[in-house]
Amino acid sequence: MHGYGNVLMVGSGGREHALGWKISQNEHVNKIIFANGNGGTYENIPIPPTDIQRLAEYAKNNNCFTVVGPELPLSMGIVDVFESFELPIFGPTRSAARLESSKEYSKNFMTKYSIPTSEFKVFTDFSKAVEYLERIDYQVVVKADGLAAGKGVFVSNSKTEAIDSIDLLLNKKIFGDSCNKIIIEKKIVGEELSMMAICDGNTFVMLDSCRDYKRAFDNDRGPNTGGMGSYSPVSEISGNEIEYISEKIFQPVIEGMKMEGTPFSGFLYAGLMIEKHTGKPFVLEFNTRMGDPECQPLMMRMQSDLYQYILAAEQQALDSVKPIEWKDKFSVCVIMASKGYPDKFETGYAIRGISKNYDPDLMVFHSGTKLNKVNDLVTAGGRVLGVTSMGNTMDEAIEKAYQQVYKISWGEDQQQFRKDIGKKAIGT
């Protein structure tokens, strides 16, 4: 066992809360410290995830093994800095994190290594992008090249919608420098699926299937968000299909990244579309960290000890561990957001109704929360809470999650959430 009793969890969202909660179940972990955490995480330090030098100093002085949650510090090279100080850290290097931080790099990589993805073109010029749109006869998805907190993807149902999206990105630069380039790709129709793996640069261990809900409102309406809910497992995805995804998508990534001289270590997330007519998986995007809110149900269902896999990955020893074991249960996560998210919303409202009753099959993971000066829990972001439940059936898990959701409130009708999370899985 590694000699690090403390774990430094970099990030402040529901994903980090869930990862820290799961890692804390390892008997050799002394304490979990969150940088900078939220109102539901137990030991927080006021160092933002992007203040890499201070985080490295803290990890060194407090004998910490560091786990990185969000994409921004990874794209800034937090792993490179920690490794230069010989500090143990789990996550990809800056160059490996380009799989997420540059859509252009990612799409070119997939093409080079024959990873199934939709056809695409890259543009920096508005008029050339519009000219291209006029020549094609299929619907498209328009994406910002750089990081945009999950909000830089525009699924278009008409040429007018697509042109509006191009204008928002290339002309109005709504995500700053992330919009210097855009990707226009052919829209694939089907069902989305999230698959993740723990990687060590040479090999990987798959996590179970998951599905998230990106649109703000019921029936997949409204703008894209960072995610409004998720469930696991996705029952219609068979073991054979997961095996196929493992061999045709994850294996070529690990081998390709090694050949590029940028071996991939960390959580690798493939956002997939299972094409309606062929059943074939296409990669929509790679993320170089755990999905949020997919992380929450996966952590609830994981029977194995997550920390052992993270340590093995950091030591390039994943080939010596067994496949991960999963509880034979269903899990659902419902995101409770501030009214108006992902556009304008207000914060600072006192949160009421979070159950204090201990139920091993129910967790409220915090995201946009903080404790105010008088130690009251208040809203502090767009996505506020991830109410995550487990049940013997999907129906049971859905019912348990929503029972808790309806007990929680803040302000006068200042919360919003989707009412259809998990219903896809039971055919309603």
Q: Cβ atoms within 10 A of the Cβ of 308, count?
A: 16
Model pTM above 0.95: no
Average confidence (pLDDT) per 10 residues, the chain, 428 residues: 79 98 96 97 96 98 97 96 98 96 92 94 88 85 81 82 88 86 89 96 97 95 93 93 96 98 98 91 95 97 98 96 96 98 96 86 97 93 98 97 96 96 82
The fold of 6-93 is: Rossmann fold (3.40.50)
- The answer to whether the beta carbons of residues 318 and 309 sit under 8 Å apart is yes
User: What residues form DSSP beta bridges with 385?
Assistant: 336, 366
How far apart CA 141 and CA 379 sit, in angstroms, is 33
SS3 content of the chain, % helix, strand, coil (to 5): 30, 30, 40
pLDDT for the residue numbered 323: 93
- Domain residues of the chain, as ranges? 6-93, 119-186, 190-320, 330-426
Residue (of 78, 73, 86, 85) closest to 13 by Cα position: 73
Token pair, residue 25, equals: 């179940």
Q: What is the DSSP string of 318-365?
A: GGGSPPPPB-SSEEEEEEEEETTTTSS----PBEE----S--TTEEEE
- The answer to whether the beta carbons of residues 402 and 336 sit under 8 Å apart is no
Place of tokens 């855009």: 182
Helix 103-112 to helix 251-259 angle (10° resolution) is 100
- The answer to whether the beta carbons of residues 68 and 79 sit under 8 Å apart is yes
Task: Give, rounded to a whole angstrom, the gap between the first and last alpha carbons of the chain.
Answer: 47
pLDDT for the residue numbered 1: 43
How far apart CA 30 and CA 32 sit, in angstroms, is 7
How far apart CA 410 and CA 415 sit, in angstroms, is 7
How far apart CA 67 and CA 7 sit, in angstroms, is 7
How far apart CA 153 and CA 225 sit, in angstroms, is 9
CATH class (in words) of the domain with range 119-186: alpha beta
Question: Considering the domain 190-320, what is its CATH architecture?
Answer: 2-Layer Sandwich (3.30)
Please tell me whether the peptide bond between 219 and the residue prior to it is cis, using omega within 30 degrees of 0: no
What is the phi/psi pair of residue 243, to 5°? Answer: -60, -45
CATH class (in words) of the domain with range 330-426: alpha beta
Q: Is 426 helix (H, G, I), strand (E, B) or coil?
A: helix
Q: What is the DSSP string of 306-326?
A: HHHHHHHHHTT-GGGSPPPPB
User: What Å distances lie between residue 398 and 18, 127, 335, 390, 393, CA to CA?
Assistant: 19, 47, 13, 8, 9
